[in-house]
Homo-oligomer: A and B are copies of this chain.
Amino acid sequence: MSTTKTINLKNRPAGKPELNDFEFTTSEISELQEGEVLVNTKYVSVDPYLRGRMSDAPSYIPPFELNKPIVSGIIAEVVESKNSNFSKGDHVSGMLEWKGTQVAKGDDLLKVDPDKASLSAYLGVLGMTGLTAYLGLTEIGKPKKGETLLVSGAAGAVGSVVGQIGKILGLRVVGIAGTDEKVELLKAKFGFDEGINYNTTKNMNEAIAIACPDGVDVYFDNVGGDISEAVLFNINKFSRTINCGAISVYNNTELPKSISVQPFLVKKSSSMQGFVVFDYADKHPAGIKQLTEWLNQDKLSYSETIVEGFENIPQAFLDLFEGKNKGKMVVKV
């Protein structure tokens, strides 16, 4: 039986994850059964939400097991098939293990077309991050033409797509990001109307008020923490917040405190709602279709940070928390 390189979760991180929390090892490749395919990993998605699965606190998906491989979105190439839906040479996407080669059930895989978009796009703008942006904004945000959309983590994989969809839908779009370079990218590449660099802005509350003179109708929140606190002072009556992530506090070991949101919500008849793309699986096919259409019409741009090498997967994941990526962080194997 042959073996393959594998990355296991070694420790549950306390606070910020470290390289030491991952273990490089080898594992056996099981024998191919009827209905299964043997695939080689091509691109690996690293995402902030994986941090949640490394803890054993209850969450929306079960935690990773210790000394078992990490699982994330992966694009792979079929090298052998015992499933009539897949042939050697096909490219597929699926939630797969961090391994060089593995056996997967055909039912868990989706064929992707390398002629319609680059393979890595299926992990980003045409994958989970694009669907998160599209479904979060439309299903929870319910934006109306002419409203103001504010996006935090705006230069990230999700945020940059949220802003562009906002423009397609006729909104005024303002993005918050952490460097001048990213803010420039928001306006130049992604068509945002305004951008705010939270690292150089002393009074975020005021900066948001200036960038959003009519107030904030929809807030797509990827970060939580202090930035989201400042947004509260600028929300409009009947505003909607999509709580998509809280990357600013994922590594906190103590529960973060912030200004109580309740009085703001009461005063403004405003809503906040947690959003996880996995809850909307029935809307994924239509979402991918819409996103592909916009991409092919050149209405959507995307940024990727592509890191090379299987051995760099853990570091690429850690770099997410330092904001080192522009757009979707992907590892090419």
Chosen A-B contacts, 28 in total, with CB atoms closer than 8 Å, are A52-B267, A59-B267, A60-B237, A60-B266, A221-B262, A225-B260, A228-B262, A238-B279, A243-B262, A243-B265, A244-B266, A246-B262, A246-B263, A249-B262, A249-B263, A255-B260, A256-B263, A257-B257, A257-B259, A257-B260, A261-B272, A265-B272, A266-B275, A267-B274, A269-B274, A271-B271, A271-B272, A271-B273
Any chain B CB within 8 A of the CB of A270?
Answer: yes
How many angstroms between the C-alpha atoms of A260 and B243 in the bound complex?
A: 12
A260-B272 contact in complex given A52-B267, A59-B267, A267-B58, C-beta closer than 8 Å: no
Q: Are B266 and A274 in contact, CB atoms less than 8 angstroms apart?
A: yes
Asked whether A279 lies within 8 Å of B273 as measured between CB atoms, the reply is: no
A324 CB-CB contact with B under 8 Å: no
A263 shortest CB reach to chain B, Å: 5
The reply on A32 being an interface residue by CB < 8 A is no
A42 to B270, CA, bound (A): 35
- A73 touches B (CB below 8 Å): no
A270 in complex: contacting residue of B224, B246, B262, B273, CB < 8 Å: B273
Given contacts A225-B260, A245-B266, A268-B274, 11 further A-B contacts (CB under 8 A): A58-B267, A60-B237, A60-B268, A243-B265, A249-B260, A249-B263, A256-B260, A257-B260, A258-B258, A271-B272, A272-B272
Q: How far is the CA of A261 from the CA of B261 in the complex (A)?
A: 8
- Contact status A246-B272, CB under 8 Å: no
Separation of A224 and B52 alpha carbons in the complex (Å): 27
Chain B residue nearest in CB terms to A223: B262
Interface residues of A (CB under 8 A from B): 52, 58-60, 221, 224-225, 228, 237-238, 243-246, 249-250, 255-276, 279
Stoichiometry (number of copies) = 2
Contact B262 A224 (CB under 8 A): yes
Cα-based distance from A264 to B249 in the complex (angstroms)? 11
CB-defined contacts of A59 to chain B, threshold 8 Å: 267
When distances are taken between beta carbons in the complex, the residues of chain B under 8 Å from A274 are 264-271
Instruction: Output the least CB separation between A139 and chain B (Å).
Output: 11
With both beta carbons as reference points, the residue of chain B lying nearest to A279 in the complex is identified as B269
Known: A256-B260, A258-B260, A259-B255. A265 touches B273 (CB 8 A): yes
In the complex formed, the residue of B with least CB distance to A267 is B59
Q: How far apart are A123's CB and chain B's nearest CB, in angstroms?
A: 21
Distance, CA A240 to CA B58, complexed state (A): 18
Q: In the complex the two chains form, what is the Cα distance from A161 to B243 in whole Å? A: 31
Contact of A259 among B243, B256, B273 (CB under 8 A): B256
Give bound CA distance, A269 to B243, whole Å. Answer: 9
Contact between A276 and B269 (Cβ–Cβ < 8 Å)? yes
**What 5 A-B pairs are tightest by C-beta distance, nearest first?**
A265-B274, A271-B273, A224-B262, A243-B265, A266-B274
